[in-house]
């Protein structure tokens, strides 16, 4: 039984066992995921794995992790671990995910989910075959204002869904002789993501951000029936503040037109090279109403706002709706003490996602977002790329 994300605010059920997490990667996954995992009850970040002994041991010491590994095979063979959090670049992750699943571990995997559709389906199918929980790192649906939006959609606020526009537009930095996507060099204690310039890594502004936005769209409007669109590269040279330079062969802009199985038609546009990049903008409308979600960040969980407008009579040129207050319970991740006043940025949405994964393991149900959902989203992302080459609509069911 799939989790009904509209029903939030429930506590853990019966007494819990401690779930032990092994994290692959010492950048975002350890620094941010690790912090979120540790705020949940009955969870221990028990191991970290990097490619080299010296970096693994240094990361374990710096973050207070009991065990260090520098071979994924050794990590997934650790009988004390329950969940493997896989945070390396996409081109590395397939073997890691498959090794973890074959070792009987539940898996939390980053996005993009895979480098190709074959790998996406293989990961999803193996998790299902093994009866394991696989979750992908698509936190936008767990942002408090997004959960509020989903609740309104489920209650029929839109009426019959008609259309949508989804945008994820992140900033271009262009100053003092430097030019680069903020996503590649975010600062704030996070190491640079220089591999975003390399198509061999499996990433791009469309693959990374498009995956996020399709997975945001799905609980709101369902599955995608067909897609068309294209992706492209506009910024031909990156010059980063550390003095390094790159000639990217990854797309920095992607646009898709999607026809949903329920008949709604809309667009997804993603880029990591937008001057004054506004962040996230999501708009849905139907026969009875319109919802607008805006977030100037990358889904930090506390900066987003939700507008709701109805089709009631109003003076043309004026607003027919209002900005809504997000109810308190959407911030209250069970066991954390989070509230609307103290919910930490980024951690609140990840906390909900990790909590749901633990509940899915306990109750043997599907998580949100699942590997199966991620495989569908991957097909959609690949369909837009294929459409850009072929010039035709691509049916998702045919992939």
Could you tell me the fold of the domain covering 141-390? Dihydrodipicolinate Reductase; domain 2 (3.30.360)
Indicate if the pLDDT at residue 31 is higher than 70: yes
Higher pLDDT, 213 or 18: 213
Backbone angles phi, psi at 285, to 5 degrees: -145, 155
pLDDT level of residue 60 (50, 70, 90 thresholds): very high
Indicate if the pLDDT at residue 17 is higher than 90: no
Return left, alpha or beta for 3; rule: phi > 0 is left, psi -120 to 50 is alpha, else beta.
beta
Nearest of 125, 298, 147, 294 to residue 208 by alpha carbon? 298
Say how many C-beta atoms besides its own lie within 10 A of residue 138's C-beta: 25
DSSP 185-238: S-BTTBPP-GGGG-GGGT--HHHHHHHHHHHHHHHHH--EEEEEEEEE-----E
H helix or E strand, kind and range, residue 348 = helix 347-363
pTM over cut 0.85: yes
Q: How far apart are CA 100 and CA 130, in angstroms?
A: 11
Cis peptide before 217 (omega within 30 of 0): no
**Is the Cβ–Cβ distance between 233 and 252 less than 8 Å?**
yes
Instruction: State the pLDDT at residue 191.
Output: 81
Mean pLDDT for 140-146 is 97
Indicate if the pLDDT at residue 362 is higher than 90: yes
Is the four-CA dihedral 71, 76, 79, 85 of positive or negative sign?
Answer: positive
Mean pLDDT for 178-183 is 96
If DSSP codes are grouped into helix, strand and coil, which group holds residue 19?
A: strand
CATH of span 19-139: 3.40.50.720
Average pLDDT, the chain: 93
Task: List the chain domain ranges.
Answer: 19-139, 141-390
**pLDDT tens by residue, 35-59:** 999 999 999 999 999 999 999 999 9
Indicate if the pLDDT at residue 192 is higher than 90: no
**pLDDT tens by residue, 89-128:** 889 999 999 999 999 999 999 999 999 999 999 999 999 9
Indicate if the pLDDT at residue 11 is higher than 70: no
Rounded to the nearest 10°, the torsion over CA 95, 98, 104, 105 is: 70
Which residues have CB under 8 Å from 221's CB, separation 6+? 153, 161, 164, 260, 262, 264, 284
Query: Regarding beta strands 245-246 and 238-239, do their DSSP bridges make them parallel or antiparallel, or are they unpaired?
Result: antiparallel
């Amino acid at each position: 039984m799939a989790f009904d994300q509209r029903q939030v605010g429930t506590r853990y059920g019966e007494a819990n066992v401690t779930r032990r997490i092994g994290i692959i990667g010492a950048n975002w996954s350890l620094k941010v995921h690790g912090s979120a995992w540790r705020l949940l009850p009955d969870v221990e970040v028990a191991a970290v794995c990097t490619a080299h002994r010296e970096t693994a041991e240094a990361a374990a010491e710096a973050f207070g992790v009991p065990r260090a590994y520098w071979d994924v095979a050794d990590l997934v063979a650790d009988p004390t671990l329950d969940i493997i959090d896989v945070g390396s670049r996409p081109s590395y992750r397939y073997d890691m995910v498959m090794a973890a699943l074959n070792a009987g571990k539940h898996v939390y995997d980053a996005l993009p989910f895979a480098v190709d559709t074959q790998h996406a389906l293989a990961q999803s199918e193996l998790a299902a075959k093994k009866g394991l929980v696989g979750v992908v790192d698509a936190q936008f649906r767990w942002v408090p204002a997004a959960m509020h939006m989903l609740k309104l959609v489920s209650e029929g606020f839109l009426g019959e869904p008609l259309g949508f526009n989804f945008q994820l537009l992140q900033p271009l930095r262009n100053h003092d002789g430097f030019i680069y996507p903020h996503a590649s060099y975010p600062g704030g204690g996070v190491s640079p993501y220089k591999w975003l310039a390399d198509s061999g890594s499996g990433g791009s502004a469309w693959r990374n951000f498009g995956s996020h936005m399709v997975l945001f769209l799905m609980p709101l409007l369902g599955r995608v029936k067909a897609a068309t669109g294209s992706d492209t590269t506009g910024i031909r040279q990156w010059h980063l503040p550390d003095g390094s330079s790159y000639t990217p062969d990854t797309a920095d802009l992607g646009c898709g037109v999607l026809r949903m199985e329920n008949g709604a038609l809309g667009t997804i546009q993603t880029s990591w090279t937008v001057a004054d990049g506004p962040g996230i903008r999501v708009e849905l409308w139907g026969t009875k109403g319109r919802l607008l979600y805006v977030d100037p960040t990358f889904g930090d969980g506390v900066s987003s706002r939700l507008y709701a407008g109805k089709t009631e009579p109003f003076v043309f040129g004026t607003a027919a709706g209002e900005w809504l207050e997000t109810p308190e319970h959407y911030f209250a991740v069970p066991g954390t003490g989070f509230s609307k006043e103290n919910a930490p940025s980024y951690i609140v949405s990840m906390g909900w996602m990790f909590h749901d994964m633990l509940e899915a393991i306990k109750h043997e149900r599907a998580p949100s977002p699942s590997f199966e959902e991620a495989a569908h989203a991957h097909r959609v992302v690949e369909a837009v790329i294929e459409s850009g080459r072929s010039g035709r609509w691509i049916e998702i069911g045919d992939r």
